[in-house]
Amino acid sequence: MTPITAPAVNLCSDLTLHVAAKEVPLMYSTIMLVLMTLGSLLFLIDGLRNRGKRRAVLEILGGLFGLLFAALDMYKHTVVASWQSRGLVAAYYVGWQFSGGVFAGMLLYVAGLMRASVLLTASTVFLVAANVFLIPRHAIRLLCMADGLFGGLLIASLILIWFEHHYRQAPTLEGGGATKSAHSKQPVS
């Protein structure tokens, strides 16, 4: 005869967390959360250490958005599953993925993997494609997450384009760059 055992109630022994009818393995989620937090902290510390460089502003902004993404991810595991309002959960998922999108955009740009114009084009194409393909399927949670992620990438790329344009016209703190500022242009007659 096999002994009858009670189902495990402890989250640590079960190793799964039920969030919005989806089972997420806690070990994977915990490892990813630790990696996100450490990566964001390193990004932020590197930006604070290199103050005065143009890139430092982007590292600080990216690190802060990465920490916000990690904090919202931790919050997801505690309270979001008990919310009853669909609108509130949808807004949470959009905000959570938006902060992750801004962090990913800053990381891709600072690491030199993508230029701002390429990031703008890719995020716009993916945002439109996600809306075209997910709205007819009524996948609202997936749509909120895709809109947040690609919207965050879009906003990050717009910030990066502004940043590139601003520092192309103004002298840098490092001594390089253009010699004329935007205000010293001659009027066109």
Report the C-alpha gap between 66 and 72 in whole angstroms.
10
- What was the pLDDT predicted at 13? 32
- What was the pLDDT predicted at 185? 47
Which is nearest to 111 in space by CA: 189, 55, 57? 55
- What was the pLDDT predicted at 10? 31
- What was the pLDDT predicted at 27? 63
What are φ and ψ of residue 41, in 5° steps? -65, -40
Q: Which residues of the chain have pLDDT under 70?
A: 1-28, 170-189
- What was the pLDDT predicted at 110? 85
- What was the pLDDT predicted at 171? 58
Contact call for residues 70 and 64 (beta carbons, < 8 A): no
- What was the pLDDT predicted at 24? 53
